[in-house]
Structure 1
Amino acid sequence: MVRLPLTSAELERGERLGALLRRARGERSMLQTALDARVSPETLRKIESGRVATPAFPTIAAIADVLGLSLDAVWAEINQPGRDDAPSKSRERLAS
């Protein structure tokens, strides 16, 4: 199966998702959050860092449930451009 490259919009949405999950996790450990959601800590780390920009729906649903986030809230947050805590790498390149 050939996987198409992600668009810049998908990459930015993945970055927003990762930032949202990090904020929602707060002081809770990544390990405990991953175990409670029944995903690997490596998967959660990749999602939070934006390396997995399009994670599977059941994965996000499980993590959101553990963090007390509604899927509606997650969807609304990640689909609003300009809501990042930090500029994306592509925006940094454009600014320099």
Structure 2
Amino acid sequence: MVRVPLTPEQIEAGRRLGALFRETRAGRDPASVALSAGISPETLRKIEMGRLPSPGFGTVVGLCAALGLPLDTAAQVWLGPTDQHLAAG
């Protein structure tokens, strides 16, 4: 299976999502957050730095649960301001 390259918009969405997770973590130990989310600390670091701009759905759900962040908030951030109408429909 060949993976289609991400678009610049998808890469930017991943950066926004990573920044949200980093800000929400707000000083909590990355290793404990990662463990609670069921991922490695390295994966968390890559997501937060935007180097993994398209994390799997289960990873996003796990991070939201570990951080006490509503999944809808993460979805809104990923969609960005120009796609907000898509989430409402």
Which TM-score bucket, shorter chain as reference?
A: 0.7 to 0.9
User: 1:13-57, CA deviations, whole angstroms, 9 ceiling, x for partnerless residues?
Assistant: 000000000000001011110011111111111111111111100
* Runs of 4+ in structure 1 over 3 Å off: none
Show the counterpart of 1:15.
15
Segments of 5+ residues of structure 2 without an aligned counterpart are 83-89
What is the aligned-residue RMSD (CA, Å)?
1.3
Q: How does 1:54-93 map to 2 (within 5 A)?
A: 54-81=54-81
- Which of structures 1 and 2 has the bigger CA Rg? 1
Percent of pairs with identical residues: 48
Q: Distance in 1 between matches of 2:69 and 2:77?
A: 11
TM-score (normalizing by structure 1): 0.80
Structure showing the higher helix proportion among its residues: 2
What is the aligned residue count?
A: 82
For 1:76, the aligned partner's letter is Q
Show the counterpart of 1:26.
26
